[in-house]
Chain A
Amino acid sequence: MNLRERNAPDPNRPSDPGPGPDDEALAALQAQSQAFLAAGSAVLKNALSTNSEDYVASNRQQGGE
């Protein structure tokens, strides 16, 4: 896959995809999402080192199944 969203309706998809969210729930979901993204992004940025390429190379993990 690639980072491509498939927003276009799929012609093979069944005509009734099931119940959708109501407006109120959608609004609440969006508000929650915004709050999460703001806080989560801050955590992510704080965690990154100044040179990610070196970090990944030096954290070569061994083993595995």
Chain B
Amino acid sequence: MTPPAGLPHFAQERRGAVPADSPSIAPPTIRLRTPMKPPAIPPHRRVLGIETEYGLSYDGSRDHRCVSGAEALFRRALAKLRHLPCIHGGSLWLENGARFYIDCGSHPEYCTPETEDPVDTMRHVLAGDRILSGVLADVNRDMGAPEEGWRLFKCNVDYSGTQNTWACHESYSTRRPLGVLAADLVPHLVSRLIYTGAGGLNPGEAGIEFCLSPRVLHLRQLSSGSSTGARGILHEKNEPLATGGLHRLHMLCGDSVMSHRAGILKVGTTALILTLAEAGFAPGRDLQLADPVAALHQFNRDPALQSLTLLRSGRRCSALEVQRANLQCAQEHLGHRLMPGWAPRLCALWDETLRRLEHGPQGVMTSLDWAIKWALYRQFAQERGFPLEALHAWNEQLRSQAPPEEPPAEMEGFPTALVARHLRLTRRRANRAVGAEGREVLRLRSQLCEAEIKFSRVGGDGLFDTMDRGGQLDHRVPELTDASVGEVMHFHPGPGRARLRSLFVRKYGQDRRCSCDWSTLLRNGRDCFDLSNPFQERLPRPGPVPSPTLRLRRIGHPARIDSLWNLMRRGQYQLVARELDAPGRMRGLSSTPYHEDYLLLWIRLSVRLGNYPRALELLEEYGTIHPSRLDCVLEHVSLCRFQGLHPMIQEAGPWMEEAERLLRDHPREDPSCRFTYHCHKGHMLGRQSRHEEAIALLEETVSDDQWTLSHPRFFARALCDMAEQHRLLNRTECIEPLLQRVMEIHAIHDLPGDFAEYYQVTSAKCSAAQNAGSARQTLLAARDQLLSTGSPVGQARVIALEARLAGANGRAVERRDHLLRLQGHVPGLNRCPLLRRLLEHWDEWTGGAMLEGEKDPFWNV
């Protein structure tokens, strides 16, 4: 493949060393290298990366089927893109070394592979846009409505009243921890907004309020460990994904931007500040802000760029002046050995942008996202008779009269379309209250919100892309050509381990025995290539696959928790138990931000292992540190539900009542709690033989399929519960579609533990009357799975059902002994009345008899 002319010089050199590849020809050979000693981490190198969260909505209909869209996108990506699965499941590694997955909240997310040049980073961001919009175009074409259909957006905030935000996280490898770098970093992060802001309207404002970055309105503190709640300018997550003493600075204060210049500067300037800080030049020494959060919000609300903020020294300083000082520091040390090769190019771009910014927004109105919007929106408002001063006055008036953008509390739980209609009606009533001119302001606001959504639409037909094609923008840099973006959709030329991952996926893509993650390539399930050095240029010799627990011990807390949760989701209870129960493993955790996460994990694990006393003890501790009473109450309900073969209905009763009361008194509580509660309630109703009520409730609960991606296990279990109720009512025709849907969910989310424990068990019970042999085979497969992963309650259920189907043969005694052993060892089974009943009436059970009053051939097992 010929290198594109516009690529940076170093990339062309690198490309020479790479085998000629194209997606249509044979995959390249990966050369192995014998020496095993990993090279030292070069001090002048740094890996960079971007995670882009995309908004997804259906254009052309009132039907908000976003989650179906995310699911359709993921399924299509599975079929269309050459990929390998993640070792931990749940995401795809693409042939360019990038990662694609559906993140919590059901939005698509694309992570660039590791790069070392900010132009390469932006190139991969654009490649991600193209890859995903290509997959989505296929989804829309398959639906037969290409003129409407699903659309991807990079608009950072939502304007329809949800208060949702979409992030653009940045990652930088560093040699020093965040605490050491913070002083130099904060003045830069606060002031870089003047070129990194995506621009837009304040979604929470009744009138029209422009800001450089609407997402900044969600940053309320200097530093935080949370990425979804109380977000900070600095994010405390430290998940290095590498060895050699490297840290990873993970930042969530930036925006997704369309402008190439803004995207390159965002990553490049921040990387240079880190280099200067690590080299000891202290770029932020004279720029310490008196109140960084206040300064951020002050700059954010000032597109005129005139605002001055107070420094600790007592001096007042503009964002532009802070940036000038940072640039000057970088220029003074361009020759330093730690400065990257691209630093002079980046400094030239930085300098030119700051010169333009000295002319105010007008100087950058064709090159930076926020300034493009600011110029267009101002002009649009002016043409409609609203100069800025007039809007300022209207904002004051509307704040007191217009309804808030959120639906009222009493609408909680209503279908989305109804809530939207309610909001529209309320707005219309408010419109009448503010008079004709006020209504025009509100209409103008809606038009600007629509423009906001369409500005960042991905796929070529957004406002930004249309203006760009028309030659009206000046945001591009010569190195970043369209051709070069097209190339990195299929291959990552490097440097570093991302190239090796890219080659690996190209060679082994679709081979189900291979998988990877950021620092590991796994071939044929047995050869493990350790890429924990991100600057590694050649594959090391393969080593044995480290045990999951060993791998877990090598990584930091956030990654470890993620991995343990993944193992839990996959039903690997014994593995997680080994890790959590190992002596000393939890030492010192109570003083870390991860304590609550570990505790919850341990509670859920104890419940699934039937360790009732320990779960109860841990739940008491959890209740003292977790802020939501409802969450704790629902954990108690889970404990009553999952500890044995049958839920402890009497014990669960008070907890269910309390959950219901909390949901009624606090209708704005996390909607996922309501979903979870309804799943539990549907299950309990079914267990009390209130089949019709259970079906009605579960049907309503799963009608909102937004939970399939965020809560696939609960969703699939609710479907299995419905199938079970239909079985008990002899409505065989209703069972098949439900189980088919469960199969689809399991195919997407890869949940082998739940597949065995719920799908296969339900499926066997439902098919036993027609085909007992097939049901027995299904149970056998489920037992193998549950034995290998260590789910005692699941094992007990499957063994009991096998005994029922097999009848009183020679294995019946063996099975009874197995159940007795489980009953002796597992506290939850020990106190399970249903298991006791089975064992007491073992002959009847294995003889196929029915006890008095029993209607279910499986005695509710």
Give A residues with C-beta under 8 Å from B. 1-7, 10, 12-14, 18-21, 26, 29-30, 32-33, 35-37, 39-41, 43-45, 47-49, 52-65
Contacts and interface: CB of A to CB of B under 8 A. Distances in A.
Interface string B817-836: 00000000000000000000
Interface in B165-201: 165-167
Given A1-B209, A59-B160, A62-B66, A41 B376 contact: yes
B430 to A, nearest CB: 12
Contacts of B228: 65
Contacts, number: 196
B74 to A, nearest CB: 13
Interface string B49-66: 000010111110110101
Given A55-B450, A56-B450, A65-B53, A40 B358 contact: no
Contacts of A29: 359, 362-363
B149 interface: no
Given A2-B209, A44-B376, A60 B451 contact: no
A18 B450 contact: no
B424 A57 contact: yes
Contacts of A4: 388-389, 392
A26 to B, nearest CB: 8
A44 B463 contact: yes
A45 B252 CA distance: 33
Nearest to B202: A1
B281 to A, nearest CB: 23
Pick from B301, B424, B451 the residue with the most CB of A within 10 Å: B451
Interface residues of B, number: 86
The secondary-structure label for the interface of chain B is mixed
A40 B303 contact: no
Contact of B395 (A2, A20, A52, A54): A2
A20 B355 CA distance: 9
Interface in B354-396: 358-359, 362-363, 365-366, 372, 375-376, 378-381, 383, 388-389, 391-392, 395
A45 B451 CA distance: 9
Contact of B62 (A2, A41, A58): A58
B637 to A, nearest CB: 26
Contact of A33 (B70, B362, B423, B427): B362
Given A10-B306, A10-B308, 14 more contacts: A2-B210, A3-B378, A4-B388, A4-B392, A5-B388, A21-B363, A29-B359, A36-B365, A40-B379, A44-B376, A47-B466, A53-B424, A57-B423, A58-B64
Given A1-B211, A20-B358, A63 B160 contact: no
B57 A60 contact: yes
A8 B466 CA distance: 36
Contacts of B67: 62
B462 to A, nearest CB: 9
B164 A61 contact: yes
Interface in B485-521: none
Interface string B398-423: 00000000000000000010001001
A53 B587 CA distance: 55
Nearest to B317: A14
B392 A62 contact: no
A20 B454 CA distance: 35
B453 A56 contact: yes
Interface string B22-55: 0000000000000000000000000000000101
A30 B105 CA distance: 45
B503 to A, nearest CB: 32
Interface stretch (B120-128, B441-449, B545-553, B608-616): B441-449
A63 B109 CA distance: 11
A59 B456 CA distance: 13
A64 B66 CA distance: 12
Contacts of A14: 316, 321
Given A48-B450, A63-B106, A54 B706 contact: no
Given A43-B463, A43-B467, A56-B449, A63 B164 contact: yes
User: What are the nearest 10 A-B pairs in CB distance?
Assistant: A1-B301, A63-B107, A64-B164, A61-B55, A52-B446, A62-B66, A63-B105, A60-B160, A52-B450, A3-B388
A65 B165 contact: yes
Contacts of A30: 362
Contacts of B451: 44, 47-48
A57 B166 contact: no
Contacts of B588: none
